[in-house]
């Protein structure tokens, strides 16, 4: 019986298995690359804040200008609402209006450029 099995094994050639044999390996690798690309794109959108407000573009009704942490989950936050600037105290259980601020002044580079003569060197 053993010689018969050996003769059968010698008659039937076994095809070599490689990377190009069958769509299984290639399809799996391409699927993996697509999934990783989609995951990376979603993470990029989340980090940019793209899913806040449903990917809506344009001005928002409430904009946070600045937030300063004071420790123990407490913050001072400057927000702009309908043209008003408000300083808010925020805790986990309460939001309080500290004061209403005046309009935002020019930025530091604008102020520096306005005070320095054009032709002068430091």
Mind listing the pLDDT tens digit for each residue in 6-26? 666 566 565 665 555 567 778
pTM of this prediction exceeds 0.85: no
Contact (Cβ atoms closer than 8 angstroms) between residue 97 and residue 84:
no
Give the SS3 label for residue 89: strand
Contact (Cβ atoms closer than 8 angstroms) between residue 4 and residue 10:
no
Q: So what's the pLDDT on residue 75?
A: 93
Neighbours of 68 (CB within 10 A): 9
pLDDT digits (tens, 9 = 90+) for 36-69: 999 999 888 888 776 655 555 666 788 888 899 9
Mean of per-residue pLDDT scores for the chain: 79
Q: How far apart are CA 10 and CA 3, in angstroms?
A: 11
Q: So what's the pLDDT on residue 22?
A: 63
């Amino acid at each position: 019986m053993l010689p018969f099995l050996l003769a059968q094994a010698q008659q039937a050639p076994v095809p070599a298995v490689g990377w190009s044999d069958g769509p299984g390996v290639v399809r799996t690798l391409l699927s993996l690359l697509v999934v990783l690309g989609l995951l990376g794109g979603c993470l990029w959108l989340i980090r940019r804040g793209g899913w806040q407000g449903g990917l809506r573009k344009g001005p928002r009704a409430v904009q946070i200008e600045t937030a300063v942490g004071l420790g123990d989950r407490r913050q001072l936050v400057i927000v702009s609402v309908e043209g008003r600037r408000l300083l808010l105290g925020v805790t986990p259980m309460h939001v309080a209006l500290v004061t209403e601020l005046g309009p935002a002044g020019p930025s530091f580079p604008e102020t520096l450029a306005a005070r320095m003569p054009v032709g002068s060197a430091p």
